């Protein structure tokens, strides 16, 4: 922000307020919840080659603890070249000893420890056989004329189905006619016949980035027996193990490549009620008709049901029997994410590079909320930016997006174990933010970690407080006659954005309605209490069904049953028009039509909110609306603010973020009826009683000041009138004055070497200093200046550092004003002397210039197996042609007189 921009912002501060209300203090209401290891951010901790030792484990864990991290998630991966003699085979005796040492050390240091089940990702390894490997279906078709026979031979063991279909709709199962020699004794009847031979083969997908001892096929998640077989590997490893263990085990996001299994046909018949063998042309041909759509829906639903109801519960139950909690990233699966996330103790989401959708990450938190879990994890920082250019500000904004999506358990992605003897930058991982003690940004990472911990201490307390259950009509998505499986990812989101659920979710979000997604299977567990829909995790005011064509009959029945018991169910525009799937279709359609016939709608045309059709049903009602409106939205969203809300015994906690580019100074109306409100600043830890007032509608209004990028916690009390120190609002009392004079610059920590001290009257990037060592330097420099206070005799000023690359610690006349990691880099100061004030600013840059220098000098630091080290575009990393990155304190540094504002007449 340049001086002109800051002048514009400061002039906008005029009218900001200071509220002085009471002098008595209620410490509990004004204080933060206790910070625990669980509320602190954790870090992904890769073990390259598992070449770890007790000394370096303890050294790094202490650094994590000192920086304010709460725990580690250990993932063994491929190793560093030249260190092969130090590799420890996964689950071998030495590896198990290192797991014991790490678990013991984390407990001693007050940290937590989770562990990937397996190495790299996904589940798999050397014990996975071809039979258990993730599989691709093999489809072979042959044409046989009437009177002809099959000349080809078939493997009787591997052929799962051999079916013949005529052009007039007849089918013949030839599977049992295959002889031991592979011949088929069958003469085709009159007409033209197409024969389908179905088998499978390993898809070729092996464990990605596997560690020594962990390489092999990925297992087949569509084959429950494969999961059981694989877990025996761990049973053997833990059979005689009595040491310390991690708290939880983890399964990474879905990167299996599988669409079939050895028992898929039997599973399909059991789950869908008819033989898939009779419909192979509909599944495997390119027909675009209704029958193909229905068969493919049944196929896709079967895939999802096998994973959610059989395969995933196997490893989760195994984990619980062995004393582990489970963490699961369900995104990427072709199944119903909500059901799969809901299987785990801690559903975990991620945002990938620029693909940062709050609405996508809400799938994980929705499962947490509806199923009554406590934590939603997030892989945070994956490809945040190009290596060594990531900033603490960027991580803070990403964490805010995670919090807004319902996440309350951040896992930085991440940090490599690295021996102390490894030259800078040490061992690094190719898809990480390099959140490690060797990266220069680590110097000020405690400020970020404290911010995250304060936020999470609030967001892990109480209960979610969402009003709307948004049904996911996945039947429409699965009833696409094209293709077979339809994977869904966090990066390619057309599966969401191009579907009615995406449109409806955006509408709810943009109008300030707090909601969770719900699946068909989860909806079947819903009950009604006092007119609200009760899920295991809490109560909701209403169920909203996006516009959809297809719906399972059992889901439609349940929605009507909920309404009969007192719930309100809203269909966007109209009721679904058909049932999904093929089995017993005519009877299902008849039952569906019968249910719809019981609904008698009355039509209302609303002047503002469009057309509403309402059908009373028992104690509740069914509505069809062409525009959604509820009386419980949070109108702050119309001012550019975002929120998430949780309840506690006497009120609500709001996390509110200004994720826009415009500063906010004004009143917001809360969607909950509160009597008093506390403001807590998670960046500084400050708190105070907010300026508040009742508006004409008797709703609580709160005054907020949030610069772009800032965030705050509101604690609203339903019945308690909290008294205590007021939250301080400020207004400007003059124009900014630039601090001038001679700056003394001293480089205090970093490398590869400390540049020479420097004195200057003009602030600029330190890469322009005479000592060219600054062009390779990553670390911190102390800027100090002695100056006189501006004339006018003001006691309080807004100190604005201007441009900082990339973080700063500030002292004035010996008082520590804290660490600043995001713009605007400013702080209120009140200890100026008339003359000889000493300002000290310790600025820290990113490591971009240092890594650039290594590549320009062809220093070998990328010496890892497997993928080695790539850039954000997955190409070999080379920083040698990067321009120099601005570093240090660039200013201009200004002081603006400020004063407390008057108490607003309408504030309580």
Split at pLDDT 50, 70, 90, the class of 793 is confident
- In terms of Cα–Cα distance, which of 410, 417, 405 is closest to 395? 410
pLDDT digit string (tens) for 433-488? 999 999 999 999 999 999 999 999 999 999 999 999 999 999 999 999 999 999 89
Query: What whole-number distance in Å separates Cα of residue 202 and Cα of residue 401?
Result: 39
Query: What is the 8-class DSSP label of residue 662?
Result: S
The answer on pLDDT for 26 being more than 80 is: no
**CA–CA dist 214, 232 (Å, integer):** 14
Q: How far apart are CA 231 and CA 128, in angstroms?
A: 10
819 CB-near residues (< 8 Å, 6+ apart): 444, 446, 447, 807, 808, 809, 810
CB 753 within 8 A of CB 853: no
CA distance 125 to 96: 17
And the tokens for 738? Answer: 């630039």
SS3 494: helix
* Whether the predicted pLDDT of 908 surpasses 70: no
Backbone torsions φ then ψ of 48, nearest 5 degrees: -65, 120
Give the SS3 label for residue 271. helix
**Looking at residue 255, what DSSP letter applies?**
-
Residue 162: partners with Cβ closer than 8 Å, 6 or more residues away = 154, 173, 174, 175, 177, 178, 184, 195, 196, 197, 198
**Residue 705 parent element (H or E):** strand 700-706
Q: Is the separation of the CB atoms in 120 and 207 below 8 Å?
A: yes
Phi, psi of 114, rounded to the nearest 5 degrees: -115, 170
* Distance of alpha carbon 298 from alpha carbon 302, whole angstroms: 6
Lowest mean pLDDT among 17-26, 387-396, 805-814, 820-829: 17-26
Q: Rounded to whole angstroms, how far apart are CA atoms 272 and 871?
A: 46
Give the pLDDT confidence of 516-525 residue by residue, as tens digits.
Answer: 999 999 999 9
The residues, any chain, with a CB within 8 Å of residue 111's CB and separated by 6 or more, are 37, 61, 64, 65, 69, 70, 71, 72, 105
Give strand pairing partners of 550: 578
CA distance 28 to 17: 25
3-state SS class at 204: coil
Q: For residue 3, what are the contacts with CB-CB under 8 A and spacing of at least 6?
A: 736, 738, 802, 892, 894
**Largest Cα–Cα distance of the chain, in whole Å?**
109
Cα dihedral sign, 468-472-473-477: positive
Is the Cα dihedral 893, 896, 899, 900 positive or negative? negative
Within 8 A by CB and 6+ apart from 367, the residues are: 330, 337, 338, 341, 342, 344, 347, 373, 522
Could you read off the pLDDT of 373-411 as tens digits, one per residue? 999 999 999 999 999 999 999 999 999 999 999 999 999
β-bridge mates for residue 592, sequence order: none
For 770-886, where are the alpha helices, taking DSSP H only? 848-856
What per-residue confidence (pLDDT) applies to 1? 38
Q: What is the CA radius of gyration of the chain?
A: 31
| Whether pLDDT at 20 is above 90 | no
Per-residue pLDDT at 46 exceeds 70: yes
Q: What are phi and psi of 635, to 5 degrees?
A: -75, -5
Three-class DSSP category at 726: strand
Q: Which whole number is the average pLDDT over 601-614? A: 78
What's the distance, CA 871 to chain centroid?
22
Look at the block and give the residue holding tokens 């690295």.
418
pLDDT of residue 479: 98
Each residue of 664-693: pLDDT tens digit?
Answer: 999 999 999 999 999 999 999 999 999 999
The arithmetic mean of pLDDT across residues 617-623, rounded, is: 97
Q: In this predicted structure, what is the pLDDT of residue 612?
A: 87
* Residue 109 CB burial class (10 angstroms; 0-12, 13-18, ≥19): middle
Predicted confidence band of residue 83 (pLDDT cuts 50, 70, 90): very high
Contacts of 480 (CB under 8 A, 6+ apart): 293, 296, 486
Cβ-based neighbour number of residue 384 at 10 Å:
26
Q: Tell me the β-bridge partners of 77.
A: 48
Residue 533 confidence (pLDDT) above 80? yes
Comparing CA positions, the residue from 479, 474, 477 lying closest to residue 297 is 479
What is the C-alpha to C-alpha distance for residues 192 and 164, in angstroms, rounded to an integer? Answer: 10
Per DSSP, the three-state class of 106 is helix
DSSP string, 236-249: HHHTT--S---SEE
What pLDDT was estimated at residue 905? 42
Which pLDDT score, from 0 to 100, does residue 16 have? 33
- Answer yes or no: is pLDDT of 562 > 50: yes
Cβ atoms of 216 and 207 within 8 Å: the answer is yes
For position 264, what pLDDT does the model report? Answer: 98
Q: Which residue has the tokens 């599944």?
A: 283
CA dist 22 → 650, 720, 723, 765, 869 (Å): 21, 15, 6, 47, 59
Q: Mark 293-317 as b/e (b = at least 16 C-beta within 10 Å).
A: bbbbbbbbbbbbbbbbebbbebbbe
Terminal-residue alpha carbon distance, the chain: 36
With beta carbons less than 8 A apart as the criterion, state whether 164 and 195 touch.
Answer: yes
Going by DSSP bridges, is the β-strand pair 894-900/730-732 parallel, antiparallel, or unpaired? Answer: antiparallel
Looking at residue 900, its pLDDT comes to 83
Q: At what angle do helices 392-404 and 358-370 cross, to 10 degrees?
A: 50
> Taking the complete model, does pTM exceed 0.85, yes or no?
yes
pLDDT surpassing 80 at residue 526: yes
Task: Tell me what pLDDT residue 158 has.
Answer: 97
pLDDT for 697 beyond 90: no
If you count them, how many residues does the chain have?
Answer: 908
Tell me the average pLDDT of the chain. Answer: 94
Nearest residue to 887 via CA among 853, 839, 837: 853
Q: How confident is the model at residue 87 (pLDDT cuts 50, 70, 90)?
A: very high
CA–CA gap between residue 691 and residue 891 (Å, rounded): 33
- Which residues touch 193 (CB under 8 Å, ≥6 apart)? 143, 144, 145, 146, 164, 165, 166, 167
pLDDT band at 608 (very low <50, low <70, confident <90, very high): low
Which long-range contacts does 537-540 make (Cβ < 8 Å, 24+ apart)? 537/368, 537/369, 537/370, 537/371, 537/372, 537/373, 537/463, 537/464, 538/369, 538/370, 538/372, 538/463, 538/464, 538/465, 538/466, 540/466, 540/467, 540/468, 540/469, 540/516
Strand order in the sheet with 527-529: 527-529, 532-535, 538-540
* SS3 assignment, position 189: coil
Render pLDDT for 104-122 as a digit per residue (tens, 0 to 9).
Answer: 999 999 999 999 999 999 9
Q: Are 465 and 652 in contact (CB under 8 A)?
A: yes
Closest CA to 447 of 395, 372, 405: 395
Q: Spell out the SS3 assignment of 329-367.
A: CCCCCCCCHHHHHHHCCEEEEECECCECCHHHHHHHHHH
Least confident of 1-10, 47-56, 701-710, 781-790: 1-10
How far are the Cα atoms of 65, 345, 351, 360, 649 from residue 364, in angstroms, in the given order? 28, 11, 12, 8, 25
pLDDT number for residue 19: 32
- Whose structure tokens read 């003359």? 835
Q: Is residue 67 a contact partner of residue 449, using CB atoms and an 8 Å limit?
A: yes
CA–CA distance, 126 with 496 (Å, rounded to integer) = 36
Please give the average per-residue pLDDT across 339-351, as a whole number.
98
């Amino acid at each position: 922000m340049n001086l002109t921009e800051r002048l514009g912002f400061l002039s906008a501060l005029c009218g900001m307020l200071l509220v002085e209300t009471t002098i008595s203090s209620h410490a509990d209401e004004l204080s933060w919840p206790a910070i625990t290891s669980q509320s602190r951010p954790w870090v992904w901790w890769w073990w390259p080659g598992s070449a770890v030792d007790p000394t370096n484990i303890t050294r790094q864990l202490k650094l994590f603890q000192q920086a304010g991290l709460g725990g580690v998630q250990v993932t063994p991966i491929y190793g560093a070249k030249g260190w092969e003699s130090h590799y420890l085979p996964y689950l071998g005796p030495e590896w198990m000893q290192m797991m014991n040492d790490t678990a013991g050390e984390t407990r001693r240091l007050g940290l937590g420890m989770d562990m990937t089940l397996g190495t790299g990702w996904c589940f798999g390894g050397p014990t996975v056989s071809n039979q258990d490997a993730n599989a691709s279906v093999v489809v072979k078709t042959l044409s046989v004329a009437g009177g002809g026979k099959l000349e080809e031979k078939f493997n009787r063991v591997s052929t799962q189905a051999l079916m013949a279909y005529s052009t007039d709709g007849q089918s013949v199962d030839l599977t049992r006619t295959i002889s031991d020699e592979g011949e088929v004794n069958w003469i085709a009847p009159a007409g033209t016949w197409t024969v389908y031979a179905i088998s499978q083969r390993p898809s070729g997908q092996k464990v990605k980035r596997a560690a020594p001892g962990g390489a092999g096929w990925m297992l087949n998640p569509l084959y429950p027996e494969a999961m059981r077989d694989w877990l025996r590997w761990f049973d053997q490893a833990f059979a005689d193990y009595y040491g310390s263990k991690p708290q939880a085990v983890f399964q990474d996001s879905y990167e299996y490549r599988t669409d079939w299994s050895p028992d898929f046909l039997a599973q399909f018949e059991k789950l869908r009620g008819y033989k898939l063998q009779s419909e192979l042309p509909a599944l495997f041909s390119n027909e675009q008709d209704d029958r193909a759509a229905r068969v493919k829906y049944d196929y896709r639903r079967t895939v999802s049901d096998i994973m959610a109801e059989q395969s995933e519960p196997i490893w989760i139950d195994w984990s619980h029997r062995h004393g582990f909690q489970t963490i699961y990233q369900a995104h990427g699966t072709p199944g119903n994410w909500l059901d799969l996330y809901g299987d785990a103790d801690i559903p975990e989401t991620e945002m990938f590079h620029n693909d940062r959708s709050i609405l996508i990450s809400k799938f994980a938190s929705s499962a947490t909320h509806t199923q009554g879990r406590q934590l939603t994890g997030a892989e945070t920082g994956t490809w945040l930016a190009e290596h060594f250019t990531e900033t603490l500000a960027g991580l803070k904004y990403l964490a805010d997006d995670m919090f807004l999506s319902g996440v309350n358990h951040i896992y930085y992605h991440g940090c490599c174990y690295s021996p102390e003897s490894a030259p800078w930058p040490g061992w690094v991982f190719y898809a990480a933010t390099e959140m490690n003690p060797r990266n220069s940004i680590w110097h000020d990472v405690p400020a970020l970690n404290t911010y995250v911990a304060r936020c999470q201490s609030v967001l892990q307390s109480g209960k979610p407080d969402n009003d709307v259950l948004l049904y996911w009509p996945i039947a429409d998505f699965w009833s696409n006659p094209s293709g077979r499986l339809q994977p869904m990812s966090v990066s390619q989101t057309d599966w969401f954005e191009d579907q009615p659920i995406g449109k409806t979710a955006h509408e709810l979000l943009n109008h300030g309605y707090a909601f969770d997604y719900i699946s068909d299977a989860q909806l079947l567990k819903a009950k009604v209490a006092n007119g609200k829909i009760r899920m295991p995790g809490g109560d909701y005011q209403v169920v909203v069904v996006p516009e959809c064509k297809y719906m399972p009959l059992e889901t439609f029945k349940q929605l009507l049953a909920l309404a009969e018991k007192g719930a309100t169910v809203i269909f966007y525009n109209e009721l679904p028009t058909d049932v999904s799937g093929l089995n017993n279709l005519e009877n299902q359609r008849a039952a569906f039509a019968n249910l719809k016939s019981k609904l008698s709608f009355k039509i209302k045309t609303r002047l503002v909110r469009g057309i509403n059709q309402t059908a009373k049903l028992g104690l509740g009602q069914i509505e069809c609306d062409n525009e959604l409106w509820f009386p419980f939205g949070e109108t702050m969203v119309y001012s550019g603010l975002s929120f998430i809300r949780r309840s506690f015994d006497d009120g609500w906690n709001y996390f509110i973020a200004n994720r826009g580019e415009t500063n906010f100074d004004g009143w917001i109306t809360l969607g909950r009826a509160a009597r008093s409100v506390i403001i807590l600043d998670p960046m500084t830890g400050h708190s105070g009683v907010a300026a508040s007032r009742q508006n004409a509608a008797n709703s609580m209004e709160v005054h907020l000041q949030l610069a772009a990028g800032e965030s705050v916690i509101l604690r609203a009390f339903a019945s308690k009138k909290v008294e205590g120190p007021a939250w301080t609002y400020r207004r400007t009392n003059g124009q900014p004055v630039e601090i001038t004079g001679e700056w003394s610059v001293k480089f205090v920590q970093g490398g590869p070497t400390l540049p020479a001290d420097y004195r200057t009257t003009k602030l600029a990037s330190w890469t322009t200093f005479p000592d060219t060592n600054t062009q390779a330097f990553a670390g911190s420099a102390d800027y100090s200046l002695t100056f006189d206070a501006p004339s006018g005799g003001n006691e309080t000023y807004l100190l604005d550092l201007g441009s900082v690359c990339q973080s700063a610690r500030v002292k004035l006349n010996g008082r520590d004003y804290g660490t600043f990691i995001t713009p605007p880099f400013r702080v209120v100061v009140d200890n100026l002397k008339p003359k000889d004030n000493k300002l000290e600013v310790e600025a820290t840059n990113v490591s971009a210039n240092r890594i650039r220098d290594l590549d320009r000098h062809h220093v070998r630091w990328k010496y890892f197996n497997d993928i080695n080290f790539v850039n954000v575009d997955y190409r070999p990393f080379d920083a040698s042609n990067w321009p120099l990155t601005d570093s240090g304190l660039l200013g201009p540094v200004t002081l603006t007189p400020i004063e407390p504002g008057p108490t607003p007449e309408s504030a309580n």
